Structure 1
Amino acid sequence: MGRLPSAQRRRQLVEAAIRVMTRDGVAQTTTRSICAEAGVSLSVFHYCFESKQALVEAVMHTITAHSVTPVAEHLRPGRDVHESVVAALRTYWDHVRAHPAEHMLTYELTQYALRRPGFAYLAERQYEQYAAANRQLLDHLCTELDLVPVVPAEILVRYLTSVIDGLTLNYLVLGGGQEAAAVLDTLAEHLVGQVRPRAAAEEHAGDDSAVPG
């Protein structure tokens, strides 16, 4: 195989790691098996990653990007708020249903990181990344559609992250795609109720600050 830029090699190794971890499990995955999957030598791996922790972190980041990146495309100016939120959540859910093994891997990575000495910080970063992705989506929603949250954004982000995370695991264990989709619709309804047009929010704030005569 010809020489490739290091960034491309890293992507190649990360995608190979995702395939191997999904197939064999995280604990059984070795740098050798990843290199064999990618068709590269061990020296290439060590050139691209300083440690297995660095690879695991890159895997977590990449898996999140797989499901999150397409979601923002549904948040566009001029589009109905509820329609945008439903489309965004359904896009994520389509990815869960199309790639259940990849999403199952995210939970295995969490447990692996929490149980392995020196890796626990990766689980923290994983969930910080989930929160950051949902915060980005919330910010994008509010910016593109000129909305503001009616509760602190940090609370809304944690709520959104927790419901999606729990629903995903519930689906992986119990199945029931139609019921899960109905839960997402309920989440969309609730989320829409937690934001309001900026002009209305500013008018409401002005009314609250008025001093009675």
Structure 2
Amino acid sequence: MARMPSAERRRQLTEAAIRAMTRDGVAGTTTRSICAEAGVSLSVFHYCFDSKQALLESVIAAITEHSVTVVRQAIQPKTTLRETVRAGFQAYWDHVSAHPGEHMLTYELTQYALRQPGFEHLARRQYERYSDTYAELIEQLCDRMGFALRVPVPSLARYLAAMTDGLTLNHLVLGDGSIAADILDTVTDHVASLAADDARTG
């Protein structure tokens, strides 16, 4: 087996865990099945992760980064703020549509963590990560496009995290993607309206 840096090995095992959990569910995924998916020995797994909590935290961070990466690429400044924001939402939604199993896994991870004594902080950190990520993206967009907001960034970040979380779950349950565009258009208009007038005109 080829040697590789421990960080790269952790990434390999994390991605293998995501595939296994998406296929078999969190409760149905074992350390052995993750190792089989990654093609490594149990000793390699235990060298990289000293606990199941550490693995799940890595999985949650990686899944979040999967969708955030495409959003970051999509929200490069365009002609208007509205176009830029809408492109970011569309990139996220395209990821949901292309990887429904991975997004379903995020909800399973939340429920699993909440039901396991001592794991509750993982669910809390998962949702804090959603808001923190939105805050980061909002601040980057404000800097790049030179506008200020009428509301505090953390408040807007929590609002957007709750909106996309609810819309994603709604889609996973009902399977009707046709309503997403209208909702995302509405939220985009709302976000664009929160830019201060002097920043948009100056």
What TM-score does the superposition give when structure 2 sets the normalisation length?
0.95
CA contact (8 A) 1:146 1:198 kept: no
Larger radius of gyration: 1
User: Taking every aligned residue pair, what percent have the same amino acid on both sides?
Assistant: 59
Q: Which whole-Å CA distance do the structure 2 matches of 1:174 and 1:199 have between them? A: 40
SS at match of 1:147: coil
In the alignment, structure 2 segments of 5+ residues that lack a partner are: none
> What is the total number of aligned residue pairs between the two structures?
202
Q: Which whole-Å CA distance do the structure 1 matches of 2:197 and 2:54 have between them? A: 42
Tell me the residue number matched to 1:151. Answer: 151
Deviation (angstroms), 1:198: 5.4
CA deviation digits over 1:76-96, x for unaligned, max 9? 346310000000000000000
Tell me the residue number matched to 2:111. Answer: 111
CA contact (8 A) 2:77 2:84 kept: no
**Matches for 1:47-58 after TM superposition, within 5 Å:** 47-58=47-58
Tell me the residue number matched to 1:81. Answer: 81
Tell me the residue number matched to 1:94. Answer: 94
2:68 is the alignment partner of 1:68? yes
**Matches for 1:155-170 after TM superposition, within 5 Å:** 155-170=155-170
SS at match of 2:91: helix
Q: Which whole-Å CA distance do the structure 1 matches of 2:85 and 2:61 have between them? A: 23
RMSD: 1.5
Instruction: Decide whether aligned partners of structure 1 residues 42 and 171 sit closer, same or farther in structure 2, where only a CA change above 3 A counts.
Output: same
CA contact (8 A) 1:70 1:91 kept: yes
Q: Which whole-Å CA distance do the structure 1 matches of 2:129 and 2:36 have between them? A: 29
CA deviation digits over 1:128-185, x for unaligned, max 9? 1101110011111111111111012221111111111000000000111121121111
CA contact (8 A) 2:148 2:199 kept: no
In the alignment, structure 1 segments of 5+ residues that lack a partner are: 204-213
